[in-house]
Structure 1
Amino acid sequence: MSSAIGINPGQLASQYTQIERSAKDQQLSTKSSLFSNQIKAFDSLKSNLSNFFDDLQTNLKDTSSLFANTATVSNSSALAVTASGTAASGEYDVFVEQLAQAHQVALSFDPAKALTTDGELSIDLAGSAFSVDFASLGADASLTDVANAINSHVDNSGVKASVVRSGTETFLTLTSAESGAANQVGVSFTEGTDANGSDITNAITNKQDLTLAQDAIVKLGANSALTITSSSNKLDTVIDGVTIDLTQAQSLGDQPIHISITQDQESSKENIQSFVDKFNSLTNGITSNQYLKRDNMAAGLARSLRNDFQGTFEGKTLFSVGIEFDRSGNLKIDNKKLEEAMATNPEQLTSMLTGENGLLSKLETRVEPFTKSYGLMTNKKQSLQASLNIVNRQQKDHEVSMEQVYQRYLSQFTQMQQTIAQLESTMGQFGS
């Protein structure tokens, strides 16, 4: 059997090439994996930072989202009360004298008679007026056409027109979109040459007020010491942080309604605990990640976030109100201290956390540079991506180089195979 037959140039070339390339393959693969995993880690961190930053802006810094109050009323049929976290605890007595109403008038028409073909109907709402020209409606216009023209008028600032039918009468009703004494609906008509215009004039002269334009009137205090008027039945500026929705007027002789605003400590503690959990999730996501905890920027951010809890806020430390770090570096709540702070000085606690110079403002300032489109995190990722691109190019160049090595080995082993075959052929001739 020929020795040349036992030589496989392609296999030998592959084996020798693999020996030559393995060290650099491993080196480049390790670098590529490192940069890829770092990019993924920083993508995740940026997402977590953005979520935390958004939460700071939209929820946590909002006192009403972090702290909770409970409102109770002695008569829920006349009003409903909600209290945000900014409300101070207190007791109030109110008497609902009347509800706010939207003005509504009705004009009566004989459905058997045709409408006028000219003239202008003018409608005024709280000093804002517009007109409907009957000549533009067409000869066979109906009250529905008039209502549609009113509702679609470009200068209509809030009057809703509709047609109501009752027996032998048809009514055009005009209703203010807003309640309150100031939102009176006024209506007048300038007749044209059509004699039927007098029907419009008569309808206006004999118009009916279905509901009067009036403000809500509420007496505040056990002796009705203060009178509060409102164009709306929603009172959200009378007591800071408290919204009162009026639903029913009381009768003369009824007892005032008692409103009690108290602090909801359990809900407030749950909200603060939610913040603590989110903070720990963010910082632990850095310190427990092998690619982030070794990075100076990421590790420095985690340290800075924790350092932001140091110092005093409103003259007190967070530790004194029950917000502290345990030995492992996790934020935790001392419920006893927190409850005492809520009970003794809730306003101070609120300022310490959500005030202009409070903790959450410090954290917001710390995190914001990392969340911007062209911020620190973006720069970091771009740097890592540039390094990964270099490694990718090195891998491609290495492939080209190794292909040349393979071809060299293939040529050498092919030449060896041919040489052995020639030698064996020559030796065979001598032996024959």
Structure 2
Amino acid sequence: MATITSAGAGSGLDLESVISSSVAAKKTQLQQPITTKRTNTQITLSGIGQLKSAISSYVSTLQAMSKDGAFNKRSVAVTQDKDNPVLKVETKSGASNGQYNITVNKLATTSKFEGTFNNSTDSLVTEDGTLTFKAGDKTFSVDVKAGDSLQSIRKRINNDGDNFGLTANILTTSDGKAKLVMDSGVSGTGNDLQISGSTTGLTSFASSLSKTQSAGSAEISVDGNTLTSATNTFDDTIVGLKVTVLRTSDKDTDGSAKSNKVDITTDKAGIKDMIKSFVDGYNSLVSKSTALGKRNTVTAGKSQDDGGALAGDSVTRAVTNLMSGTITEPSKNSSTFSTIFQLGVKMDNKGVLSIDDEKLTDAIDKNFDQVVAIFGGENGVAGKLADQLDDYSKTGGLLAQRENSLNDDLRELSRKESDATTQLTKYEESLRARYGSLDTLLSKLKQSSSYLSLLNTSSS
């Protein structure tokens, strides 16, 4: 498109500047509302994302607290050498307070086999076949090829994808012989390793291996009762406890095994920590919601733009109202306490929670089960609050729907911006056509005026 300038025989007017100014003004008129709307939408979208993330984090904490047995925390004390412990005891859901005298009589053992050969590199196999290994209900087979050496067989065993944990190693003895040592990896009485071959040669190979250790079960004595396990772990053999034996018990002077005292008590400090995490998470979410929803302050009639990303958005108030409403609702789980505020939890006029440690300690000491009842389980305060907040943060939830709507708005704004660009191009074209005609007309008028001036001068 031709540029209109003040130079040449035209009108002498700077029409290019006029057009540029007009186009700039039109651009501002068309695009400023779009830019403002996009900025505000992006800020809101960011705020919704921050709120959703904060809620999701707290929901995870609440869901963990509402699981069965989450508040059934127990403290374990074992009388034993701390530098060389005999056993490890962990509590599980359903554990109860109690005392036990535990003696470790035997550790679980795996079965082991050995075989001595002239060397590890000479061929041991004359024809293709299969070696099969079985221990208890576990089994796997290895294909062996003609010409395989002891090293090759060892590698095939250890690298087999179906191997259930059997290991094969080669030792070189003082006389230069190669010793194959195999450990089944499977413990428990009756789970001895069995090796068989599909050919005469492989059967002979299997027969040449001798058992050096039998598979056996671990054995402990609990208050005089003998318990066994195929492994060194006794899981729920004592209900609610997981006992892992590490070595056999020490002996006293007459050779009798010494028992180790295990004391299971209520972990009151653990319960208080969980309640503290409930309160801290609550306050963190309230603080985040308040900051996001803070309105801009106005000074001398001018906004200071110091508000949150969701300034004035009702969703932040809805979240905080939901939270306060849920924790103040009377509980049906406890026969002693109707709300958590009777346990020592307090709320100030800004909705922030705190804990009266002395009152909470007293409630736990005197009514432990009722404290657990009001907080724990699906219908406890933690579970109910998790369900309510999850409606906001879950996939497809209320905040996800807001995000989808805002992203739709951004796509619509991009379409409008494209339309505005097209409209602006047409507007500039119309101006150039209009001012181009005006420039031509003014140029002709100027020429006519000059001609008339010349005629008047000649007449004079």
Q: TM-score higher than 0.5 here?
A: yes
Amino acid at match of 2:277: S
Corresponding residue for residue 264 of structure 2: 261
Instruction: Please point out which of 171, 174, 191 is paired with 1:167.
Output: 174
Residues 398 and 159 (structure 1 numbering): CA distance in 2 closer, same or farther, change over 3 Å? closer
When the two structures are superposed, what TM-score results if normalisation uses the length of structure 2? 0.74
Helix, strand or coil at the partner of 2:261: strand
Corresponding residue for residue 311 of structure 1: 330
Amino acid at match of 2:415: R
Corresponding residue for residue 244 of structure 1: 243
Corresponding residue for residue 100 of structure 1: 108
Corresponding residue for residue 145 of structure 1: 152
Corresponding residue for residue 33 of structure 1: 39
Corresponding residue for residue 229 of structure 2: 230
- Structure 2 unaligned spans of 5+: 1-6, 294-308
| Contact 1:65–1:85 (CA under 8 A) maintained in structure 2 | no
Residues 343 and 182 (structure 1 numbering): CA distance in 2 closer, same or farther, change over 3 Å? farther
How far, CA to CA, are the matches of 2:52 and 2:181 in structure 1?
A: 58
How far, CA to CA, are the matches of 1:13 and 1:34 in structure 2?
A: 31
Which stretch of the first structure deviates more once superposed, 14-23 or 306-315?
14-23
Corresponding residue for residue 291 of structure 2: 288
Aligned residues: 418
Helix, strand or coil at the partner of 1:12: helix
Corresponding residue for residue 274 of structure 1: 277
Helix, strand or coil at the partner of 1:308: helix
Structure with the larger RCO, 1 or 2 (CA within 8 Å, 6+ apart):
1
| Alpha-carbon shift at residue 328 of structure 1 (Å) | 0.5
Corresponding residue for residue 299 of structure 2: none
Corresponding residue for residue 124 of structure 1: 134
Q: Is 1:302 aligned with 2:320?
A: yes
Residues 232 and 343 (structure 1 numbering): CA distance in 2 closer, same or farther, change over 3 Å? farther
| Contact 1:176–1:183 (CA under 8 A) maintained in structure 2 | no
Which stretch of the first structure deviates more once superposed, 237-246 or 177-186?
237-246
How far, CA to CA, are the matches of 1:397 and 1:129 in structure 2?
A: 71
How far, CA to CA, are the matches of 2:204 and 2:420 in structure 1?
A: 98
Corresponding residue for residue 72 of structure 1: 77
Q: Percent identity?
A: 23
What is the correspondence of 1:402-421 to structure 2 with a 5 Å cutoff? 402-409=424-431
| Contact 1:313–1:359 (CA under 8 A) maintained in structure 2 | no
Q: Is 1:397 aligned with 2:419?
A: yes
| Alpha-carbon shift at residue 249 of structure 1 (Å) | 0.6
Amino acid at match of 1:314: N
RMSD: 4.0
How far, CA to CA, are the matches of 1:156 and 1:21 in structure 2?
A: 73
Q: Is 1:45 aligned with 2:51?
A: yes
Q: Deviations over 1:53-98 (max 9, x none)?
A: 44445x4445787776543322132424354585544433211112
| Contact 1:116–1:197 (CA under 8 A) maintained in structure 2 | no
